[in-house]
Amino acid sequence: MNLKTLDPEVIEKLLEETQDSITPLAKSREQFYQSQACPNCGGNAFQKFGYAHSLFISNDPLPRYHLRCKNCNCSFNPHSGIVTELGNIGKAFVPSVPLINKD
């Protein structure tokens, strides 16, 4: 089976009058991720990742990522609030008093 591609000029003409519905949705989804707080330590620096079984759901054109806190490694689903890995809260905080005296 041979794949025939459309001429780029034809593609541009076809897409001229269509409305971009993905970009506003992607921006609002990114703001949603940035507004999250870690349920374990309260941090706000995250790494997005996805599980294959829950990355895409019906009627949603964008992937639904899980978040992993960069402070304590806690992983959670921001859409449902379910924590999948508790992480290590000890990594998130710097003690105010040094634990080892270097004198």
* Total-model pTM: 0.70
Q: What is the pLDDT of residue 103?
A: 55
Q: What is the pLDDT of residue 75?
A: 93
Q: Which residue has the tokens 């003409």?
A: 13
For residues 39 and 71, what is the distance between their CA atoms, to the nearest angstrom?
A: 12
Give the tens place of pLDDT for each residue, 85-100: 988 877 766 666 666 6
Three-class secondary structure assignment of 43-69: CCCEEEECCCCCCCCCCCCCCCCEEEE
Torsions phi, psi of 36, nearest 5? -80, 155
Q: What's the one-letter identity of residue 52? A: A
Question: Under 8 Å CB-to-CB from 54, ≥6 apart: which residues?
Answer: 64, 66, 77
Give the tens place of pLDDT for each residue, 17-59: 888 888 999 999 999 999 999 988 888 899 999 888 888 988 8
